[in-house]
Chain A
Amino acid sequence: GNSVTQMEGPVTLSEEAFLTINCTYTATGYPSLFWYVQYPGEGLQLLLKATKADDKGSNKGFEATYRKETTSFHLEKGSVQVSDSAVYFCALMNTGNQFYFGTGTSLTVIP
């Protein structure tokens, strides 16, 4: 079946620290992989995506590389800001147009 496992939170970092949020997946075939971000009181927003192995998704300083050999899609950012405080969800989409989400990782960045 399809499933996503991501690093449990919450994660608290100081401003300008390096961020890694781990995400691994189980899927049949060749899924597309995504990171979504949810700010307080809002819906999910697409942060970045990768549709095939070795693709790197990037946006707003965040990056993630689709690693088929390790079935991973870890999210990284070199220098976090207070405004990055949010909940981050790793997700995959396989055939059928439905998402499979991880449980979310809450990030708090302190000045």
Chain B
Amino acid sequence: NAGVMQNPRHLVRRRGQEARLRCSPMKGHSHVYWYRQLPEEGLKFMVYLQKENIIDESGMPKERFSAEFPKEGPSILRIQQVVRGDSAAYFCASSPAPSGGYNEQFFGPGTRLTVL
């Protein structure tokens, strides 16, 4: 029973390039969350998605960042025209559909993005 999978684990991009980060949720999970961890900081919520629908994107920067979770395939976090300040660890978490009360999120190992 595989956990949350993220790839690549490490990604190096030059300024101005695009970065695509992938997240495959745990089997049976239909909800995905993306978090960003800047150096020396805690994780900050970015976006919450279910299949083909963005539920909450209040933590996403207004420009250059987008996320999707298609009906088939992994969730993708896309960063266009990367800048040095985008260098961070990006974590994905997944959960089953909420059923009232707390819904545990299971975290992937993260993708470490370095922008040169």
Contact = CB atoms under 8 A, between A and B. Distances in A.
B69 interface: no
A45 B103 CA distance: 15
B40 A103 contact: yes
A57 interface: no
B104 A44 contact: no
Interface residues of A, number: 22
Contacts of B110: 43
Nearest to B47: A98
Interface string A68-89: 0000000000000000000001
- The number of chain B residues touching the other chain, given as a range, is 20 to 34
Top 8 A-B pairs ranked by shortest CB distance? A101-B42, A43-B107, A44-B107, A98-B45, A103-B42, A43-B109, A101-B43, A32-B102
Given A43-B108, A45-B107, A97-B33, 20 more contacts: A36-B107, A43-B4, A43-B109, A43-B110, A44-B43, A44-B91, A44-B107, A49-B102, A51-B102, A89-B42, A93-B102, A96-B56, A97-B56, A97-B98, A97-B105, A98-B56, A102-B42, A103-B40, A104-B41, A104-B42
Interface of A: 4, 32, 36, 41-46, 49, 51, 89, 93, 96-104
